[in-house]
Amino acid sequence: MPRSYGNRPRPVQAPWARHALRAAVLILLTLTAGPIVAGTGEAAARTVKIVALGDSLTAGYGLPGSDSFPVKLEKALRAKGIDVAIENAGVSGDTASGGLARLDWSVPDGTDAVIVELGANDALRGIDPKLTRQALESILLRLEARGIAVLLAGMRAPPNMGADYTAAFDAIFPELAAAHDVVYVPFFLDGVAADRTLNQADGIHPTAAGVDVIVARLLPQVEELIRRISARNP
């Protein structure tokens, strides 16, 4: 016999009382069904899941984990009332081809969007821009096939690579963004590159303050990315 604090006769509940109780429960469930994603104008039944797929600029090379780009971006979005979780899938030294090779396990099922930040190492190593383009386009196509929204972060070749290489490399990102209709950021390091006060001693990787600049400049595009997700799942 189940434990109880005494066996008392159960009161008889009037039919109208049962209906009123049922209505109250339905109202409570409706009110607690899910948070509102601020800034999107849409209701979300769950946390928006984003994967930041990139290289050391995403991974947070030389920085504590709390100062990495994905962590700071998530914090900035949550400060605006947007319920989001951003997974750091940055691997230092990764190229566009490397990102493609690990795409399936880096972007698990249930992911709503991916921020693609790849290509910097391709340019530094002088990899043929055709190969970089093919790898990035394959990433976009595979994410598109999975119904995952994308923000493509552009990169620029260093000037010492020569005019022809720079022209071919720099054209990759805007052309792919237009062809696949993804949210686009022309230059991930805009406002940070070549600024000694915002970069570590190597002159390549941003400091924590540099990451703050990147997050602030990318925030409008990331909000647009979230609006696209909400439009797909009204």
Q: Domain residue spans in the chain? A: 46-232
Tell whether the model's pLDDT for residue 2 goes beyond 80. no
pLDDT score recorded for residue 45: 54
Closest CA to 181 of 219, 232, 130: 232
pLDDT score recorded for residue 234: 66
pLDDT score recorded for residue 232: 81
pLDDT digits (tens, 9 = 90+) for 51-62: 999 999 999 999
Tell whether the model's pLDDT for residue 229 goes beyond 70. yes
pLDDT score recorded for residue 43: 37
Inter-axis angle of helices 69-79 and 208-232, to 10 degrees? 60
pLDDT digits (tens, 9 = 90+) for 101-139: 999 999 999 999 999 999 999 999 999 999 999 999 999
Task: Tell me the CA distances in angstroms from 50 to 38, 159, 171, one per residue in order.
Answer: 16, 33, 26
Inter-axis angle of helices 129-145 and 172-180, to 10 degrees? 20
Question: According to CATH, what is the number of the domain 46-232?
Answer: 3.40.50.1110
pLDDT score recorded for residue 213: 98
Share of the chain above pLDDT 90, in %: 78
pLDDT score recorded for residue 40: 44
Inter-axis angle of helices 172-180 and 163-170, to 10 degrees? 20
pLDDT score recorded for residue 233: 74
- The DSSP secondary structure of the chain, one letter per residue, reads ----S---PPPPPPHHHHHHHHHHHHHHHHHTS--EETTTTEE-SS-EEEEEEESHHHHTTTS-GGGSHHHHHHHHHHHTT--EEEEEEE-TT--HHHHHHTHHHHS-TT--EEEEE--HHHHHHT--HHHHHHHHHHHHHHHHHTT-EEEEEP----GGG-HHHHHHHHTHHHHHHHHHT-EEES-TTTTTTT-GGGB-TTSSSB-HHHHHHHHHHHHHHHHHHHHHHHHH--
pLDDT tier at 208, thresholds 50, 70, 90: very high
Tell whether the model's pLDDT for residue 17 goes beyond 90. no
pLDDT tier at 7, thresholds 50, 70, 90: very low
pTM of the full structure: 0.81
pLDDT digits (tens, 9 = 90+) for 138-192: 999 999 999 999 999 999 999 899 999 999 999 999 999 999 999 999 999 999 9
pLDDT score recorded for residue 191: 97
> Residues with catalytic annotation?
56, 202, 205
Q: Which residue type sits at 171?
A: A
Q: Which residue type sits at 63?
A: L
Closest CA to 71 of 51, 88, 54: 88
pLDDT digits (tens, 9 = 90+) for 47-103: 999 999 999 999 999 999 999 999 999 999 999 999 999 999 999 999 999 999 999
